[in-house]
Structure 1
Amino acid sequence: AWAQGTFPQRPVKFIVPNAPGSSIDTIARILSTQMAQGFAQPLVVDNKAGAAGALGVEVGRTSPADGHTVIVASSSSITIAPLLQKAVPYDPLKDFDFISLIALLPNVLVVNPALPVRNVAELIAYARSKGSNSNMASAGVGSTSHLAGAALQSAGGFQSLHVPYKGGAQGVTSVVAGETDWVLTPAPAAMGQVQNGRLRLLAHSMTTESRPLGDVPSIAQTLPGFEFAGWIGLMAPKGLPPGAVDTLRRTLAQALQQPELRKQFDINGAVPTPSTPQEFRAFLARDIEVHKKAIEVAGVKAE
């Protein structure tokens, strides 16, 4: 068995601060299935959506620090929410124990197949020609898809009307239905619709050198220097026993090596990225600075 020692002594709960069917939920359920094989106890996914992820994170933060409740954290709930919500009670760098990164998530630029564009340059030209009649979906004001889309517009020198929805799935569905033209959204939220032909995939948001989606080009090939990737990681209430941190980290790392998990991650465009707790914390500190700049570009104010 991957997990050793006395931990866990009862079922382990994954708190997912996002709705069922969201990109974070999709990855969490794939991971939980594999990690459960390394425990002698069940692993349960508990969705606690609300307040852009802050509600679920706070539930996790105030849970007993024994390792049996952990948080499937992401850029939306850990990086963005504290920057945009004055009422968020937690400090992302001080109030949690870091276990490991799980994956990097490229954002994917997708359009309705009826739209007459097949690459980033054509989308930019189309949006410029349409002016205010071009529109962009998002998962809501201040969401990852909103900030990524705003950053793309700034880098590409064009504007699209922002149409916020109440979640990533609804935003993607609006593009499928032709209600909106495009969205730059975390890959797991859109790749199923790409594979069934309901969306056209133009590019991903990682570096030019990255190949998270095979031959799919990066936005940076058209707009040099553009990068706006999301992430998922495992965090826990402050004060976990070192043995629990180590067991969770090792079990997660083992799960990320499993061929079936990697196959499912590939389908969803997620890049397995195990790390040490120290590497995870340093990564988060950098991510906060990147998002501060994106929020400024988007013109979103903390409320």
Structure 2
Amino acid sequence: MRSGRFLTFVLALAGAHVAPSLAAEAAKDYPSRPIRLIVPNAPGSAVDTLSRIVGTKLSDVIGQQVVMDNRPGAAGIIAMEIAKNASPDGYTLISATTAASTIARLLQKKAAFDPSTDYDYVVQYAETLNVLAVNPSLPIKSVKDLIAYAKSGKTPFNMASAGAGSQSHLSGAYFQQAAKIDSLHVPYKGGGPSVASVVANESQWTLIPAPAAMTHVSAGRLRALAHTLPRPTPLLPNIPPIADTIPGFDYSGWMGFFVPKGTPKAINDKLRAAVVKTMDTPEVKKGMAFQATEIVIKGPAEFRKVVQDSMVQNAKLVKSLGLTAN
């Protein structure tokens, strides 16, 4: 009896040593075929553009093609679930974003994923920001001006968003709470129509991703007042953070890579090293700067905290707005 238990112990101990060595051996040959990068947004979107900037150069760095797989729909849920159920072998990555990973599951009952438990974290590689913008015909040239104008009761003074529960809606609501103002929310079907409404002065202000905002700002169709990072950014040297007027204000987004839960650590480590090297290349630095997106590198533990904090912040906002999951 004792010999049987001893044999079981020896076999278990041997297995414990063999499994990591097999994983390490697999990582030596990784990658041996193309890697799929799932993107939760449509081609041409800001998330798609940033993912392509990184993915294209990552192909060169890691020595295998990174193939874009756009899976838009259901606010990102479709993509997140495909990634969750993929084989944990290092050949499936997902571009994880604030909207798809945290906001979508708060507002969609059918969301069958949990960013806390269903994925392994590879790396955060970017911090994204929104720009607070107004129609240039308004006598508003700063955050203080906007707050004063809103409190004056002049109408119309409506806030446009890309839709109820969208990131632009939540960031705008967060700003209104922090500024102690009340502005009618006008949800549109997507970012393009919401921006167009402010350009046409159908709505008067909005918070939108920097790449979309700056095209219109440069053309004089919008006036940029501030951005949502908690600090100044060299990418927008003439636009201050909202935090300069409202101390502590921070509604920045993030982008990074998740892999399916159970992906071997050695492969995850190899992926992370390749992404870090990719982000340090001139091509990627130039591309990210052109998109007004800061390169921010955080490893798995730090990245996990960023996601958790984002989940808490957005859950509070959703609750305060009385939004419910559909």
| Residue in structure 1 matched with residue 8 of structure 2 by the alignment | none
1:13 to 19, 32, 36: 36
Q: Secondary structure at the match of 1:9?
A: coil
Assess if the C-alpha contact under 8 Å between 1:203 and 1:219 holds in 2.
yes
Assess if the C-alpha contact under 8 Å between 2:232 and 2:240 holds in 1.
no
1:121 to 131, 144, 155: 144
Is 1:63 matched up with 2:89? no
Q: Secondary structure at the match of 1:25?
A: helix
CA distance in 2, matches of 1:147, 1:271: 21
| Residue in structure 2 matched with residue 27 of structure 1 by the alignment | 50
Query: How many angstroms does 1:189 deviate by?
Result: 3.2
CA distance in 2, matches of 1:212, 1:298: 32
| Residue in structure 2 matched with residue 76 of structure 1 by the alignment | 99
Could you tell me which amino acid in structure 2 is paired with residue 63 of structure 1?
Answer: A
Is 1:269 matched up with 2:292? yes
CA distance in 1, matches of 2:52, 2:260: 21
- Judging changes above 3 Å, is the alpha-carbon distance between structure 1 residues 195 and 21 closer, same or farther for their aligned structure 2 residues? farther
Is 1:216 matched up with 2:239? yes
Assess if the C-alpha contact under 8 Å between 1:22 and 1:189 holds in 2.
no
Is 1:225 matched up with 2:248? yes
**More helix as a share of residues:** 2
Gaps spanning 5+ residues in structure 1: where? none
Gaps spanning 5+ residues in structure 2: where? 1-26
1:180-225 Cα distance to aligned partner (Å, 9 max, x none): 2221122233233333333221101111455552231111111222
Q: Which of the pair has more CA radius of gyration?
A: 2
| Residue in structure 2 matched with residue 197 of structure 1 by the alignment | 220
CA distance in 1, matches of 2:211, 2:167: 13
| Residue in structure 1 matched with residue 318 of structure 2 by the alignment | 295
Is 1:242 matched up with 2:265? yes
CA distance in 1, matches of 2:244, 2:306: 24
Alignment of 1:37-116 (within 5 A): 37-116=60-139
Could you tell me which amino acid in structure 2 is paired with residue 87 of structure 1?
Answer: K
2:307 to 261, 284, 295: 284
| Residue in structure 1 matched with residue 282 of structure 2 by the alignment | 259
Query: How many angstroms does 1:240 deviate by?
Result: 1.1
- Judging changes above 3 Å, is the alpha-carbon distance between structure 1 residues 114 and 29 closer, same or farther for their aligned structure 2 residues? farther
Assess if the C-alpha contact under 8 Å between 2:187 and 2:194 holds in 1.
yes
| Residue in structure 1 matched with residue 206 of structure 2 by the alignment | 183
CA distance in 2, matches of 1:177, 1:7: 52
CA distance in 2, matches of 1:42, 1:169: 31
CA distance in 1, matches of 2:193, 2:268: 36
Q: Secondary structure at the match of 1:37?
A: helix
Aligned residue pairs total 300
**Stretch of structure 1 that moved more, 53-62 or 212-221:** 212-221
| Residue in structure 1 matched with residue 197 of structure 2 by the alignment | 174
Percent identical pairs in the alignment equals 44
The TM-score normalised by the length of structure 1 is 0.91
- Judging changes above 3 Å, is the alpha-carbon distance between structure 1 residues 299 and 64 closer, same or farther for their aligned structure 2 residues? same
Q: Secondary structure at the match of 1:133?
A: coil
1:243-285 Cα distance to aligned partner (Å, 9 max, x none): 3212221111011111221122122221111121122112211
Assess if the C-alpha contact under 8 Å between 1:212 and 1:271 holds in 2.
yes
**Stretch of structure 1 that moved more, 138-147 or 286-295:** 286-295
CA distance in 2, matches of 1:46, 1:170: 26
| Residue in structure 1 matched with residue 6 of structure 2 by the alignment | none
Q: Secondary structure at the match of 1:301?
A: coil
CA distance in 1, matches of 2:189, 2:49: 17
- Judging changes above 3 Å, is the alpha-carbon distance between structure 1 residues 117 and 278 closer, same or farther for their aligned structure 2 residues? same
CA distance in 2, matches of 1:127, 1:229: 23
CA distance in 1, matches of 2:225, 2:128: 16
CA distance in 1, matches of 2:66, 2:193: 28
CA distance in 2, matches of 1:263, 1:194: 20
**Stretch of structure 1 that moved more, 97-106 or 5-14:** 5-14
Assess if the C-alpha contact under 8 Å between 1:136 and 1:181 holds in 2.
yes
1:159 to 165, 169, 182: 182
- Judging changes above 3 Å, is the alpha-carbon distance between structure 1 residues 26 and 191 closer, same or farther for their aligned structure 2 residues? farther
Q: Secondary structure at the match of 2:278?
A: helix
Cα RMSD (Å) of the superposition? 2.0
